[in-house]
Amino acid sequence: MSDKPAEEQTARVIMTDPARELAELCNALAPDLGHLGEVHLATHFKVDAWSFDFFQIIFTIIERVNLVKSIVAQLDMDDDIKDDLANHLDRIATAFSANSMRSHWSSIGGVQLGPVNVQPIKAVAGQVRQHVSYRKLADSDIENLRLEVDELIKWLKERQLNEQDFVRQAILEGLDRFQFRLSRLTWLGWGYTLESLRDVIAAYVMLERGLDVEKNPDADAVLRKVGGLVQAVYSRLQTAKGAVETGDLMLKAYGLGSLWYHGKPVIAGLLAG
């Protein structure tokens, strides 16, 4: 019997990865409710069919499929196995095509998201996790972050910079996308939500490098507020490797590798605070 308190025993860190998240999404969407594909997906995601939010969700799923394909292509396995996995992923993507959405879900979408295509992706998740992994957050963690983002958005809307106020607008737009994923795309997993921080971090760097904050106290306040949020996000993802390494990994995994400055990852500077 363990000597650790019950709270400590239950606070086990659960890791996940892009392939596992995609497989879990497919499993959740596969059951047929007797609707056309467009109605099936809109009902599941609680949005109007063909609305802006609907398209954003569909595009996000396709991006996730392509991300998993790119990771699989780098795995140390035989080429024919990689080709088979790529074919399964392509079939999964057809579930979100216009043809699938205008057909009964049972005829295309439900079939392509069945075990034949999804099980191989779930099976390879362990290998994917050796390259890209991150902590799976509890709903309470996500809700706390959502409230922090709400507070920051409200604060930023009440401020205006004397110089380069378009940077503040860029930060707000990035935060809106981050908030959307926190609130509406949690089914796709925490890791993908981080990708929407790209524009926030890029705008942060633009403001930090482009202004003399000592002469612009409002800009300095914006930097401190935004930097604090980024630190809060990555602190929740911290693993044994440390928050900076985790942040650097996530930046690279989700296409943020260009956010480097003078040979150093931007996230390291933000986390060093």
Question: DSSP states of 248-260 as a string?
Answer: HHHHHHTT-TT-E
Query: Is 4 inside a domain boundary?
Result: no
In this structure, the answer to whether residues 52 and 159 fall within a common structural domain is no
In this structure, the answer to whether residues 140 and 262 fall within a common structural domain is yes
In this structure, the answer to whether residues 112 and 151 fall within a common structural domain is no
pLDDT in tens, 205-254: 777 776 676 777 888 888 888 888 877 777 766 543 444 444 454 444 44
| Residue % of the chain over a pLDDT of 70 | 76
> Higher-confidence residue: 203 or 147?
147
Q: Measured between alpha carbons, how far is 143 from 151 in angstroms, rounded to an integer?
A: 13
CB 145 within 8 A of CB 233: yes
Last residue of a domain, one of 84, 101, 129: 129
Lowest mean pLDDT among 4-8, 146-150, 201-205: 4-8
Last residue of a domain, one of 108, 129, 150: 129
Structural domains of the chain, count: 2
Q: How confident is the model at residue 80 (pLDDT cuts 50, 70, 90)?
A: very high
Give yes or no for residue 58 having a pLDDT over 90.
yes
pLDDT in tens, 82-114: 999 999 999 999 999 999 999 999 999 999 999
**Residue span of the structural domain in which 44 resides:** 13-129
Q: What is the mean pLDDT of residues 257-264?
A: 38
Q: What is the mean pLDDT of residues 119-147?
A: 87
CB 91 within 8 A of CB 62: no
Q: How confident is the model at residue 260 (pLDDT cuts 50, 70, 90)?
A: very low
In this structure, the answer to whether residues 111 and 166 fall within a common structural domain is no
pLDDT in tens, 185-204: 765 555 556 666 767 877 87
In this structure, the answer to whether residues 179 and 257 fall within a common structural domain is yes
Q: Measured between alpha carbons, how far is 247 from 242 in angstroms, rounded to an integer?
A: 9
Q: How confident is the model at residue 20 (pLDDT cuts 50, 70, 90)?
A: very high
Mean pLDDT of all residues belonging to the chain: 80
Q: What is the mean pLDDT of residues 111-125?
A: 98
Where does 30-169 show beta strands of DSSP type E? 134-135
In this structure, the answer to whether residues 151 and 259 fall within a common structural domain is yes
Query: Is 175 inside a domain boundary?
Result: yes
Which one, of 180, 143, 237, lies nearest residue 60 by Cα? 180
CB 261 within 8 A of CB 269: yes
Query: Is 8 inside a domain boundary?
Result: no
Q: Measured between alpha carbons, how far is 266 from 262 in angstroms, rounded to an integer?
A: 9
